Amino acid sequence: MSLPLACFVAAIGLGLVVETTAGLLRLWTYRTPLLILANIVLAFGLIQGFGVGWVIGGRGALRGVFPVLFMVGALVGLLFEGLNLYWLHAWTFSDRPLLGIRRPIDKAAFLGVAWGFAPLSTVFLAKILAGGPLLAASVA
């Protein structure tokens, strides 16, 4: 499997796990079930997986790009969460606390930063799927 495809597949898998867990815990609800699919395919798969994961971290060694992957992933996540909270309204947070966090704006900020782990996890899983080196110093 090519690394770009592996990044996309890994990110889709990560998105399925996150959205399934959030649904079971009733942390947020989507305006329509189609938006769950769009979030998994577009936000996780294409943007965080293929876009951030492969473009920044998938082309070479992982060592040295962890901070950049996290930072860009978190920036994209904060953008997603902010756009949803103030404009899109595609999903809404439940009244249940999220690790003690109660206000929607605080949940959005926390989750936006947590999005930083999406490209890190994606690239790590993709390298396993593609059979490439995980922490090699360089790729020839």
pLDDT digits (tens, 9 = 90+) for 107-124: 999 999 999 999 999 988
Banded pLDDT at 11 (limits 50, 70, 90): very high
Element (H, E) at 28: strand 28-30
Q: How far apart are CA 58 and CA 46, in angstroms?
A: 14
Report how far Cα 140 is from the mean position of its chain's Cα atoms.
28
**Model-level pTM?**
0.88
Q: What are phi and psi of 29, to 5 degrees?
A: -130, 145
60 contacts 139 by C-beta, under 8 angstroms? yes
Is 26 in a helix, a strand, or coil?
A: coil
Q: How far apart are CA 68 and CA 29, in angstroms?
A: 31
pLDDT digits over 36-84, tens only?
A: 999 999 999 999 998 988 888 766 666 678 888 899 999 999 999 999 9
Residue type at 25 in one-letter notation: L
128 contacts 14 by C-beta, under 8 angstroms? no
Q: How far apart are CA 123 and CA 102, in angstroms?
A: 32
Question: What pLDDT score does 52 carry?
Answer: 87
